[in-house]
A and B are shown apart, each in its own frame.
Chain A
Amino acid sequence: MNLTLHIWRQKNASDPGRMVRYEAKNVNADMSFLEMLDVLNEELTLKGEDPVAFDSDCREGICGMCGFMINGVAHGPQRGTTVCQLHMRRFKEGDQLHLEPWRARAFPVIKDLVVDRSAFDRIIQAGGFISVSTGSAPDGNAILVPKPAADLAMDAAACIGCGACVAACPNAAAALFTGAKITHLAKLPQGQPERYQRVLGMVAQARQDLFGSCTNIGECEAVCPKAIPLDVIAGMNRDFIKASWERREEVIEKGAG
Chain B
Amino acid sequence: MQLDSRIPSGPIEKAWDKARFEMKLVNPANKRKYSVIVVGSGLAGASASASLAELGYNVKCFCFQDSPRRAHSIAAQGGINAAKNYQNDGDSIYRLFYDTVKGGDFRAREANVYRLAQISVNIIDQCVAQGVPFAREYGGTLANRSFGGAQVSRTFYARGQTGQQLLLGAYQALERQVASGKVKMLARTEMLGLAVIDGRARGIVTRDLITGKVESHVADAVVLASGGYGNVYYLSTNAKGSNCTAIWRAHKRGAAFANPCFTQIHPTCIPVSGEYQSKLTLMSESLRNDGRIWVPKKKGDKRTPEQIPDAERDYYLERRYPSFGNLVPRDVASRNAKAVCDEGRGVGETGLGVYLDFSDAIQRLGADGIRERYGNLFEMYERITGEDPYRVPMRIFPAIHYTMGGLWVDYHLMSTIPGLFVIGEANFSDHGANRLGASALMQGLADGYFILPYTLGNYLAGAKLEKVDTAHAEFRSVENEVNAMTRRLLSIRGKRTVSSFHRELGKTLWEDCGMSRNRASLEGAIRKIRVLREEFWGNADVLGGGEELNQALEHAGRVADFLELGELLAIDALQRDESCGGHFREEHQTPDGEALRDDERFCYAAAWEYAGAGGQPVLNKEPLKFEYVPPTQRSYK
| Chain A positions near chain B (C-beta within 8 angstroms) | 11-12, 28-32, 34-36, 38-39, 42, 45-46, 48-51, 53, 55-60, 62-65, 78, 81, 85, 87, 89, 110-111, 114, 116-118, 120-121, 124-126, 128-141, 143-147, 150-151, 153-154, 157-158, 160-161, 184-185, 188, 190-191
Do residues B129 and A130 form an inter-chain contact, with CB atoms below 8 A?
A: yes
Tell me the dominant secondary structure on chain A's binding face.
Answer: loop
- B543 interface neighbour in A48, A125, A128, A141, Cβ under 8 Å: A48
B residues within 8 A CB of A158? Answer: 161, 164
Contacts A42-B497, A58-B239 aside, 15 further interface pairs with beta carbons under 8 A come to A42-B500, A48-B543, A51-B551, A57-B72, A57-B239, A85-B380, A87-B386, A116-B66, A118-B187, A124-B171, A130-B130, A135-B126, A137-B128, A137-B129, A157-B158
Do residues A45 and B552 form an inter-chain contact, with CB atoms below 8 A?
A: yes
C-alpha spacing A160/B134, complex, angstroms: 17
- B276 interface neighbour in A28, A59, A153, Cβ under 8 Å: A28
| Chain B positions near chain A (C-beta within 8 angstroms) | 47, 50-51, 54, 65-72, 74-75, 84, 86, 122, 124-131, 133-142, 158-159, 161, 164-165, 168, 171-173, 175-176, 178-179, 185, 187, 210, 239-241, 273-274, 276-279, 281-282, 380, 383-386, 449-450, 453, 495, 497, 499-500, 541, 543-544, 548-549, 551-552
Chain B's nearest CB lies how many Å from the CB of A7? 15
B residues within 8 A CB of A64? Answer: 69-70
Q: What are the 4 closest A-B residue pairs judged by CB atoms, nearest first?
A: A144-B140, A137-B129, A129-B172, A125-B179
Chain A's nearest CB lies how many Å from the CB of B234? 12
Do residues A190 and B130 form an inter-chain contact, with CB atoms below 8 A?
A: yes
- B210 interface neighbour in A110, A146, A184, Cβ under 8 Å: A110
C-alpha spacing A63/B70, complex, angstroms: 5
Chain A's nearest CB lies how many Å from the CB of B566? 21
Whether A140 touches B125, Cβ cut-off 8 Å, given contacts A45-B497, A125-B179, is yes
C-alpha spacing A48/B47, complex, angstroms: 43
A residues within 8 A CB of B210? Answer: 110-111
- Determine the residue in chain B with the shortest Cβ distance to A111: B549
Do residues B128 and A125 form an inter-chain contact, with CB atoms below 8 A?
A: no
B residues within 8 A CB of A160? Answer: 164
Chain B's nearest CB lies how many Å from the CB of A27? 9
A residues within 8 A CB of B552? Answer: 45, 51
- B140 interface neighbour in A30, A125, A146, A153, Cβ under 8 Å: A146
Whether A137 touches B549, Cβ cut-off 8 Å, given contacts A42-B499, A64-B69, A118-B66, is no
Chain B's nearest CB lies how many Å from the CB of A48? 7
- Determine the residue in chain A with the shortest Cβ distance to B140: A144
- Determine the residue in chain B with the shortest Cβ distance to A36: B276
- B66 interface neighbour in A36, A58, A117, Cβ under 8 Å: A117
Whether A157 touches B133, Cβ cut-off 8 Å, given contacts A110-B210, A125-B179, A146-B140, is yes
- Determine the residue in chain A with the shortest Cβ distance to B178: A125
Do residues B548 and A39 form an inter-chain contact, with CB atoms below 8 A?
A: no
Whether A62 touches B278, Cβ cut-off 8 Å, given contacts A30-B385, A50-B544, A124-B172, is no
- B274 interface neighbour in A31, A114, A116, A153, Cβ under 8 Å: A31
Whether A138 touches B279, Cβ cut-off 8 Å, given contacts A45-B497, A59-B239, is no
Do residues A137 and B140 form an inter-chain contact, with CB atoms below 8 A?
A: no
Do residues B239 and A63 form an inter-chain contact, with CB atoms below 8 A?
A: yes
Do residues A125 and B75 form an inter-chain contact, with CB atoms below 8 A?
A: no
Q: Which of B69, B136, B380, B495 has the most CB of A within 10 A?
A: B136
C-alpha spacing A194/B81, complex, angstroms: 29
A residues within 8 A CB of B68? Answer: 121
- Determine the residue in chain B with the shortest Cβ distance to A123: B175
C-alpha spacing A130/B50, complex, angstroms: 13
B residues within 8 A CB of A157? Answer: 133, 158, 165, 168
Do residues B141 and A60 form an inter-chain contact, with CB atoms below 8 A?
A: no
A residues within 8 A CB of B72? Answer: 57-58, 63
Do residues B75 and A53 form an inter-chain contact, with CB atoms below 8 A?
A: no
Whether A150 touches B383, Cβ cut-off 8 Å, given contacts A59-B279, A60-B75, A141-B141, is no
- Determine the residue in chain B with the shortest Cβ distance to A144: B140
Do residues B70 and A57 form an inter-chain contact, with CB atoms below 8 A?
A: yes
Chain B's nearest CB lies how many Å from the CB of A251? 19
C-alpha spacing A38/B498, complex, angstroms: 12
A residues within 8 A CB of B140? Answer: 144-147
Do residues B384 and A87 form an inter-chain contact, with CB atoms below 8 A?
A: yes
Do residues B541 and A45 form an inter-chain contact, with CB atoms below 8 A?
A: yes
C-alpha spacing A32/B173, complex, angstroms: 34
- B176 interface neighbour in A51, A111, A131, Cβ under 8 Å: A131
Do residues B548 and A46 form an inter-chain contact, with CB atoms below 8 A?
A: no
- Determine the residue in chain B with the shortest Cβ distance to A30: B273
A residues within 8 A CB of B449? Answer: 134
Do residues A29 and B386 form an inter-chain contact, with CB atoms below 8 A?
A: yes
- 6 residue pairs of the A-B complex, CB under 8 angstroms, read A30-B274, A31-B273, A130-B129, A135-B450, A137-B128, A161-B69
C-alpha spacing A24/B556, complex, angstroms: 25
- A134 interface neighbour in B126, B137, B179, B273, Cβ under 8 Å: B126
A residues within 8 A CB of B161? Answer: 62, 158
Do residues A85 and B384 form an inter-chain contact, with CB atoms below 8 A?
A: yes
C-alpha spacing A11/B130, complex, angstroms: 41
- B172 interface neighbour in A128, A141, A154, Cβ under 8 Å: A128
A residues within 8 A CB of B126? Answer: 132, 134-135, 137
Do residues A59 and B240 form an inter-chain contact, with CB atoms below 8 A?
A: yes
- Determine the residue in chain B with the shortest Cβ distance to A60: B281
C-alpha spacing A62/B175, complex, angstroms: 20
- Determine the residue in chain B with the shortest Cβ distance to A186: B131
Whether A150 touches B136, Cβ cut-off 8 Å, given contacts A38-B276, A38-B499, A158-B161, is yes
A residues within 8 A CB of B122? Answer: 135, 137
- Determine the residue in chain A with the shortest Cβ distance to B550: A53
Chain A's nearest CB lies how many Å from the CB of B538? 17
Do residues A32 and B278 form an inter-chain contact, with CB atoms below 8 A?
A: yes
B residues within 8 A CB of A135? Answer: 122, 126, 450
C-alpha spacing A135/B125, complex, angstroms: 9
Chain A's nearest CB lies how many Å from the CB of B310? 29
Chain B's nearest CB lies how many Å from the CB of A164? 15
B residues within 8 A CB of A146? Answer: 136, 140
Do residues B133 and A134 form an inter-chain contact, with CB atoms below 8 A?
A: no
B residues within 8 A CB of A31? Answer: 273-274, 276
